[in-house]
């Protein structure tokens, strides 16, 4: 089957459009993943601020002066 010049140009145009569409989808997915990662980090920071560790500072520290 022979393809005319117009047919080849149309095929190339369709392939280019498909490539651009895939590029746009991939970049959108990357942006969404980055936004989700930032949101998860912010949520962790909020939890750490609201509920600080219940272990008081200094617990488990050995007082060397008291031992001597």
pLDDT digits (tens, 9 = 90+) for 14-31: 999 999 888 888 888 888
Q: What is the pLDDT of residue 51?
A: 58
Alpha-carbon span 25 to 20, nearest angstrom: 9
pLDDT tens for the chain, residues 1 to 68: 577 888 888 999 999 999 988 888 888 888 888 888 888 887 777 666 555 555 556 656 666 666 65
Q: What is the pLDDT of residue 59?
A: 58
Instruction: Report how far apart, in Å, the C-alpha atoms of 18 and of each of 13, 14, 23, 30, 40 are.
Output: 9, 6, 9, 19, 33
Q: What is the pTM assigned to this prediction?
A: 0.44
């Amino acid at each position: 089957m022979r393809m005319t010049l117009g047919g080849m140009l149309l095929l190339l145009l369709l392939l280019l459009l498909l490539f651009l569409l895939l590029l746009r989808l991939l970049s959108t997915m990357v942006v969404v993943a980055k936004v989700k990662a930032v949101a998860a980090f912010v949520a962790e920071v909020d939890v750490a601020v609201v509920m600080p560790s219940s272990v008081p500072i200094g617990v488990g520290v050995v007082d060397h002066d008291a031992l001597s």
